[in-house]
Amino acid sequence: MVPGDKGYRPEAGFLTERINTLSKSYPEQLPDFKVHEYSPLLDSANMSPSDWEQIASDIESHYTEFDGFVILHGTDTMAYSASALSFMLEELSKPVIFTGSQIPIGQIRSDAIDNIIGSLLIAGYQAIPEVAIYFHNHLYRGNRCQKVDASGFDAFASPNFPPLANVGTKIEINQSIINKFPRNSFKVQRITPPKIITMNLFPGFDASIIQALTEQKIDGIILRTYGVGNAPVQNKALLQALEHAHQQGIVIVNCTQCFQGHVDMSGYETGTALMNAGVVSGADMTVEAALSKLYYLFNIGLEQQQIETKMQQNLRGELTRPSTTSV
């Protein structure tokens, strides 16, 4: 990013030039790397599933040439992209690490260089078969991560799963939680985006919104509910609308509005009512992970019930099934 008349904007060649100076500055410490710059460059707010597919295709094309991959990405949609690739890159046996910065490279207080160097060291020298986000001295599982600070350097967090690695004077890998190496060959699952919407419940929520969405023939709803997955049971119209939507083939996933914790619809009457309407638990998935997982599942030839079953299973380390009932 460079300053422009309307604010910071991407500029071709600028980032590549800055990164290539790193290999000259630390020739014996950094792994050998090659920079591939996209054209046109995108602000991450403009990212779309077609861009995820381009990144996945490039990794596939060069998979045997490199020990790992670092993806320099804007922070706004980084968690979405990392979650999506965690599902698209099947049987992954190498690190794919997203990173970026809060202050653009080239600015005197930029955090970009530290994040890039950390990512290169881990991708080049550590055996981690995961899509991850490296930011501010922490390596997070990509599909567990969320952007939590609009301007602070500690911009990302993993609310329901510990970091894969912490970086200080040493790089400390938490080996016990790293995904297992696959037995089969790497492949990419392409994605054609289904019609998915995410929405928050709130006091006074109008059931006609669900009815209107059902008429639009959408494929899925990520419903962000209260607490451990609760909804207003006295709003009979809402429950009926959700049940009708489910009967029409719409997959409805229950994710909590809380930053931390998991959905347990068996804990309260207000959660059980959703379960009886056909809503399935998103457990402790982030919204970014739930959305990406729906994209993936709708593209591998599954029926509604199969998708609902898979949404409640751990496929890429994106969720943890609760062992006890929360109150």
Residue 318 lies in a domain: no
Let me know whether 182 and 204 are in one domain. no
Let me know whether 103 and 172 are in one domain. yes
Decide: pTM greater than 0.85: yes
Let me know whether 249 and 288 are in one domain. yes
Let me know whether 111 and 254 are in one domain. no
Let me know whether 50 and 106 are in one domain. yes
- What is the CATH classification number for the domain harbouring 287? 3.40.50.40
pLDDT score for 10: 63
Q: Choose between 123 and 103: higher pLDDT.
A: 123
Q: Choose between 305 and 29: higher pLDDT.
A: 305
pLDDT score for 8: 62
* Mean predicted confidence (pLDDT) in 107-115: 89
Contact 223, 201 (CB under 8 A): yes
- Among residues 161, 188, 215, the one where a domain terminates is 188
Lowest-confidence region among 11-15, 211-215, 302-306: 11-15
Residue 171 forms beta bridges with which residues? 167
Residue 108 lies in a domain: yes
pLDDT of residue 326 exceeding 50: no
Let me know whether 72 and 108 are in one domain. yes
- Among residues 132, 165, 188, the one where a domain terminates is 188
Please give the single-letter amino acid code of residue 137: N
| Predicted confidence band of residue 318 (pLDDT cuts 50, 70, 90) | very high
CA distance 135 to 170: 16
CA distance 91 to 184: 6
| Predicted confidence band of residue 149 (pLDDT cuts 50, 70, 90) | very high
Which range marks the domain in which residue 164 is found?
A: 14-188
Let me know whether 59 and 140 are in one domain. yes
In a 3-state reduction of DSSP, which class is residue 267? coil
Question: For 106-111, which contacts have Cβ atoms below 8 Å and span 24 or more sequence positions?
Answer: 106/1, 106/2, 106/14, 106/18, 111/136, 111/153
Number of domains in the chain: 2
Chain-centroid distance of CA 14 in Å reads 27
Residue 226 forms beta bridges with which residues? 230
Supply the DSSP symbol for 214.
H
Lowest-confidence region among 24-38, 49-63, 133-147, 296-310: 24-38
Residue 99 lies in a domain: yes
Let me know whether 222 and 75 are in one domain. no
Q: Rank 111-120, 246-255, 316-325 by mean pLDDT and report only the highest.
A: 246-255
What would the pLDDT profile of 218-272 be if each residue is shown by its tens digit?
999 999 999 999 999 999 999 999 999 999 999 999 999 999 999 999 878 888 9
Let me know whether 25 and 86 are in one domain. yes
Mean pLDDT (the chain) is: 92
Let me know whether 167 and 29 are in one domain. yes
- What is the CATH classification number for the domain harbouring 169? 3.40.50.1170
CA distance 247 to 241: 10
What is the C-alpha end-to-end distance of the chain, expressed in Å?
46
Let me know whether 113 and 218 are in one domain. no
What would the pLDDT profile of 176-202 be if each residue is shown by its tens digit?
999 999 999 999 999 999 999 999 999
Tell me which H or E stretch contains 304: helix 304-311
What would the pLDDT profile of 166-179 be if each residue is shown by its tens digit?
999 999 999 999 99
Let me know whether 127 and 101 are in one domain. yes
pLDDT score for 15: 73
Contact 121, 77 (CB under 8 A): no
> What residues contact 50, with CB distance under 8 A and at least 6 apart?
none
Residue 66 lies in a domain: yes
pLDDT score for 176: 97
- Among residues 188, 212, 234, the one where a domain terminates is 188
CA distance 202 to 235: 12
Percent of the chain with pLDDT over 90: 80
